[in-house]
Chain A
């Protein structure tokens, strides 16, 4: 080979055709504004941590986060009012994000949940003042070893972990993208973006820090394990379809793919890759949802994490993860429903029964609520199985109703305290109704909503989900759902009886007087619970308008 010929292997003559221009991607910034606002605010929050003096950080962060979440919610409402939820629903950002009814509905829910969670994050009157400084539920300095001198010094200096606010915003941003992701890569990145801040938030409790760190390690290791499964599932689905786009995969599943280049035609369409990949991907999502066999992390993490974080995690993660699961099963894999429906039947049944039965034996209020959240994941799965438009809208409604009840219930848990911080052991809640009738009554409302008693949002949600499931041909599932609701009602009512009909113990806990922040959070929970219970029709209509995915 001559020198010139070798040279031409890696160079090109200047006279040859110019390299074709690469088209810049077209991004619809307006339609992505909810997530962009939240991400932007989170980045500003990081800068605040770096440059604003420590004294004023708390106020700056609270203001920034509240404004950002409210602005993002306003953007969602504006998009929905503009018709992006119904007639103008389409796929934005070069096929990466779907802007449609379910995603706008879930984004709105997540933003409101985030805003209320922000109020509980910012609460500074529950813990007694440390050296004249008001403190919140988060560690003075997360890096200081619990009980060490450096921790005492940090407490004395009045440090607070204001980093929780940007972390909350990052988690919310990931959750906004998760249910609207329209390709598997975006799905995975969004999953990690909302998971990583949650792992950190779990480790930041002010009291019981060893438990908090333990919860974070468990959540992190199991969460990373589950996301590795998710990723391998994505790899196999990519191997199956030759693309990670939802639309292409669903076309390949249905066998209606229009144009395939020859190189791809030989390698795609292997059913083993499809089935194993789907199983692994769904496994990862069911882990986030907290469905039985993948629920082991839930009670430990819910118990160990700081209670405001638990409330946020319990409410918002479920909304985001069920949104993604719905989109995956309804948009990507409807052609595979004869394969996934039986599996989901099984998962729903053991989740409902397992959560309800194990909850009976619990003695810690946070663990009890954790198992109740597992049972609720089972009820929502019953709606997912319906594979109908009603199934989607009932799940959307249930998620909205459930998330506010959960936030409110965990906010009440932060109020009941003794010398060691929150008094979460059930025996300490005995006679709470005699000491603080209002707090006990509010908690009873939330428990009745969890149990699904009429005139609360829990009843409307359960009714919608079970109706959709029965119409979708899952009558046995509904029967089991009603039975496990009855089992679950037993332990909710038991807590109510404990609060109102037993003698208060002399060394029992006190109920702290919260600032307007937590009061607002709890009041919002009660209002939404009662409004969705007494007059659910408007919101059911809203959910049913929003119940159509874009492909």
Chain B
């Protein structure tokens, strides 16, 4: 199968993730959409790696996974602390600071 198709899939997944970030209200779901975007990046890296015939992209995919894991740790800590003090993880409710 032509590997370019995987690039289209990566672009599609990235777009779905970005759309989700923009339209969903729950911070956890928004965060999952961001993870989807990062995974789309990984798919693109691995596909390009296959197309170019070098391993850089596959190695970068591992780095991305580690970074994504670290981001989950920090992100969930922040979102959980927000949820515990407000009893809501809606990003629309968090509006103390508006002009």
Contact A221 B91 (CB under 8 A): yes
Bound Cα distance A214, B95 (Å): 8
Which A residues are CB-close (under 8 A) to B91?
Answer: 217-218, 221
Contact A200 B67 (CB under 8 A): no
Contact A220 B75 (CB under 8 A): yes
Q: Provided the pairs A224-B31, A228-B38 are in contact, do residues A192 and B60 lie with their beta carbons within 8 angstroms?
A: no
Fill in one digit per residue for B77-97: 1 if any A CB lies within 8 Å of its CB, else 0.
111011011100001001111
Contact A235 B48 (CB under 8 A): yes
Contact A231 B71 (CB under 8 A): no
Contact B34 A225 (CB under 8 A): yes
Contact B70 A213 (CB under 8 A): no
Q: Provided the pairs A232-B14, A236-B44, A238-B45 are in contact, do residues A189 and B63 lie with their beta carbons within 8 angstroms?
A: yes
Query: How many interface contacts (CB-CB < 8 Å) are there between A and B?
Result: 133
> Which of the four size classes fits the interface of chain B?
35 or more
Bound Cα distance A229, B18 (Å): 9
Contact A209 B85 (CB under 8 A): yes
Chain A interface main SS type: helix
Contact of B97 among A203, A263, A268, A304 (CB under 8 A): A304
Contact A243 B85 (CB under 8 A): no
- Taking the closest CB of chain B, its distance from the CB of A248, in whole angstroms, is 10
Those of B3-58 within 8 Å (CB) of chain A: 7, 10, 14, 17-18, 21, 27, 30-31, 34, 37-38, 40-41, 44-45, 48, 51-54, 56-57
User: Residue of B at shortest CB range from A200?
Assistant: B74
The segment from A1-9, A35-43, A138-146, A535-543 that touches chain B is A138-146
Q: Provided the pairs A145-B84, A267-B52 are in contact, do residues A220 and B78 lie with their beta carbons within 8 angstroms?
A: yes
Contact A228 B56 (CB under 8 A): no
Contact B94 A218 (CB under 8 A): yes
Q: Provided the pairs A210-B85, A239-B7 are in contact, do residues A232 and B52 lie with their beta carbons within 8 angstroms?
A: no
Which A residues are CB-close (under 8 A) to B63?
Answer: 185, 188-189
The yes or no answer to A31 lying at the interface (CB within 8 A) is no
Those of A269-325 within 8 Å (CB) of chain B: 299-300, 303-304
Which A residues are CB-close (under 8 A) to B71?
Answer: 192, 196, 224
The yes or no answer to A264 lying at the interface (CB within 8 A) is yes
Contact A213 B48 (CB under 8 A): no
Residue from A147, A228, A244, A261 whose CB has the most chain B CB atoms within 10 Å: A228
Which B residues are CB-close (under 8 A) to A304?
Answer: 96-97
User: Residue of A at shortest CB range from B45?
Assistant: A235
Bound Cα distance A268, B18 (Å): 27
User: Residue of B at shortest CB range from A142?
Assistant: B81
Contact of A228 among B37, B53, B74, B78 (CB under 8 A): B37
The yes or no answer to A215 lying at the interface (CB within 8 A) is yes
- Taking the closest CB of chain A, its distance from the CB of B6, in whole angstroms, is 11
Contact of B75 among A215, A224, A243 (CB under 8 A): A224
> Which of the four size classes fits the interface of chain A?
35 or more
Contact B85 A232 (CB under 8 A): no
Those of A173-190 within 8 Å (CB) of chain B: 185, 188-189
Which A residues are CB-close (under 8 A) to B34?
Answer: 221, 224-225, 228
Q: Provided the pairs A220-B78, A225-B34, A232-B44 are in contact, do residues A214 and B97 lie with their beta carbons within 8 angstroms?
A: yes
Which B residues are CB-close (under 8 A) to A228?
Answer: 14, 17-18, 34, 37-38, 41
Contact B41 A196 (CB under 8 A): no
Q: Provided the pairs A218-B94, A224-B34, A228-B37 are in contact, do residues A263 and B52 lie with their beta carbons within 8 angstroms?
A: yes
User: Residue of A at shortest CB range from B44?
Assistant: A235
Contact A199 B37 (CB under 8 A): no
The yes or no answer to A66 lying at the interface (CB within 8 A) is no
Contact A232 B48 (CB under 8 A): no
Which B residues are CB-close (under 8 A) to A225?
Answer: 18, 21, 34, 37
Bound Cα distance A217, B34 (Å): 14
Contact A261 B53 (CB under 8 A): yes
Which A residues are CB-close (under 8 A) to B54?
Answer: 242-243, 264
- Taking the closest CB of chain A, its distance from the CB of B83, in whole angstroms, is 10
Contact B74 A213 (CB under 8 A): no
Bound Cα distance A244, B41 (Å): 14
B residues contacting A by CB (< 8 A) are: 7, 10, 14, 17-18, 21, 27, 30-31, 34, 37-38, 40-41, 44-45, 48, 51-54, 56-57, 59-60, 63-64, 67, 70-71, 74-75, 77-79, 81-82, 84-86, 91, 94-97, 99
A residues contacting B by CB (< 8 A) are: 142-143, 145-147, 185, 188-189, 192, 196, 199-200, 203, 209-211, 213-218, 220-221, 224-225, 228-229, 231-232, 234-236, 238-239, 242-244, 261, 263-264, 267-268, 299-300, 303-304, 361
Q: Can you show 9 pairs from A to B with CB atoms below 8 A apart? A: A188-B63, A189-B63, A213-B85, A224-B34, A228-B18, A239-B7, A244-B56, A263-B52, A267-B51
Q: Which 4 pairs between the two chains have the least Cβ-Cβ distance?
A: A263-B53, A228-B37, A235-B44, A239-B48
Known: A228-B14, A267-B52. 17 other contacts (CB 8 A): A147-B85, A185-B63, A199-B75, A213-B81, A215-B97, A218-B91, A220-B74, A220-B78, A221-B75, A224-B71, A228-B17, A231-B37, A238-B48, A238-B56, A242-B54, A267-B51, A361-B99
